[in-house]
Chain A
Amino acid sequence: MAAHFQYYSTEKVKDMNQESLGYIFINACLINNFVLAYFLGICPFLGVSGKMETATRMGGAVSFVMLISSMCAYGIHALLVAINAPFLQLISYIVVIASTVQLVEMFVKKMSPSLFRSLGIFLPLITTNCAILGLALFQTNKGYNFVESLVYALGAGAGFTLALVLIAGFREQLEFADVPKVIRGTVLTLMIAGILSLTFMGFSGLGS
């Protein structure tokens, strides 16, 4: 079953079939959902999925950062290939992501102080959201061109938001359920996530 987990690396040598843009979007959003299939961005997924409103906003912020850092990652990759310094890839990606997050943080603080407060610690923590770095690394591995990268980032952002909103919906309903105390909190969220992940496996036939 090791094959299942090799998709991170083997996709580098994928056959040169041109993937359609629609397929890239569906793939990032549903089939290989970043949260439920790749396990990226679990921290905010567990942390801010308590309320529907915060979840939506968090999803929006992450999608925005994803889009910008995907564009930057494309440029950086081209530059690093040109100067033949692949070992700088990780460091430069993370620096770009951190600065983007800082930018978004300042923007949100200025435009909507209430959103800034409700996101709290999770806004700066987008920097350490693996989904964003993961996106930059995957798109490089897959060798997407600029437009494909953008569509991939959009799909990943949409998928992240979708997973977050779904979980938040479940959790809001479960507030009223009589759940044993030991299971409350993370355990319950993880169980729901597991079931959602099973559900999302149903999408794996799409587009093939």
Chain B
Amino acid sequence: MSSQPQHSESTKAIPSSTDEFIKGLWKENPVFVQVLGMCPVLAVSNTAENALAMGMATAFVLLMSNILVSMLRNFIPKEVRIASYILIIATFVTITDYTIQAISVELHKSLGAFISLIVVNCLILSRAEAFASKNTIGKSIMDALGMGAGFLFALFCLGAVREILGSGTFFGIALLPTEFQEWIIMILPAGGFFTLAAWLLIFNIIQQKKSKT
């Protein structure tokens, strides 16, 4: 496991905590730049509401697991670290699963198995491995908040586009005139792939322009 992907945490200058936050939101956005945690991004972004709920659930698990991993980073033996991280994450996901079920059965139904599948979101494990296990609690919290916000932002971008084009509504409120012919493809699985491809393309173009100037 020595070849775990190393992200640019090891940059020379010591970044301030705000930098850690901004980094996750834009420069190292987990979805658009690192392309991590794709499964829930594609699967539950068919409406803006689902996307928001999923993003919040993931951000919560990310925050809690980052805190706990960072607290325990000196106690967990190196050989069993991945297994321990996964156990920590699974615990918080179980908590989240039951909490969402208690708050809204409807939401729980529409997110379905994807709440449980937060356990295997590569984003969370990669933050635990690449960041929280090496940094102080304060920094880990900022990192988790930034990454969580970045993930939420990306999910929301996708969910909004897919809901507006696919059903002509936004958070369930009709937005487009009734003559508008819904693009059914946007709410089907294929639409998820296409929308994400379009967003990544936009990000690529922005970054290419930046690197030219």
Contact = CB atoms under 8 A, between A and B. Distances in A.
A141 interface: yes
Contact of B39 (A40, A124, A125, A194): A40
Contacts of A193: 193
Interface string B58-102: 000000000000000000000000110011001101100110000
A198 to B, nearest CB: 4
A9 B87 contact: no
A91 B122 contact: no
B176 interface: no
A1 B46 contact: yes
A8 B112 contact: yes
A130 B109 contact: no
Given A98-B82, A191-B194, A134 B87 contact: no
Contacts of B86: 94-95, 98, 127-128
Contacts of B204: 182-183, 187
Given A121-B3, A198-B190, A94 B201 contact: no
Interface stretch (B10-18, B20-28, B181-189): B181-189
Contact of B38 (A6, A39, A120, A138): A39
A43 interface: yes
A7 B109 CA distance: 9
A98 B39 contact: no
Contact of B112 (A9, A94, A132, A187): A9
B93 to A, nearest CB: 6
A134 B110 CA distance: 16
A90 B116 CA distance: 7
B192 interface: yes
A39 B116 contact: no
A6 B112 CA distance: 7
B175 interface: no
A2 B110 contact: yes
A129 B119 CA distance: 10
Nearest to A195: B190
B193 A201 contact: no
B87 A95 contact: yes
A197 B35 contact: no
A190 interface: yes
A87 interface: yes
B46 A5 contact: yes
Nearest to B42: A39
Nearest to A190: B197
A158 to B, nearest CB: 19
Interface in A104-139: 120-121, 124-125, 127-130, 132-134, 137-138
A46 B1 CA distance: 20
A190 to B, nearest CB: 4
Nearest to A40: B39
Interface string A32-58: 000011111111001000000000000
A7 B42 CA distance: 16
B200 interface: yes
B117 interface: yes
A46 B50 CA distance: 24
Contacts of A186: 35, 197, 200
A133 B120 contact: yes
Interface of A: 1-2, 4-10, 36-43, 46, 87, 90-91, 94-95, 98, 120-121, 124-125, 127-130, 132-134, 137-138, 141, 181-183, 186-188, 190-191, 193-195, 197-198, 201
18 contacts: A4-B46, A5-B43, A41-B39, A43-B38, A90-B90, A90-B93, A90-B97, A94-B86, A95-B83, A129-B120, A132-B120, A181-B208, A182-B201, A187-B200, A187-B201, A190-B193, A197-B189, A201-B190
Given A41-B39, A46-B38, A91-B94, 5 more contacts: A120-B3, A124-B82, A137-B117, A188-B197, A201-B189
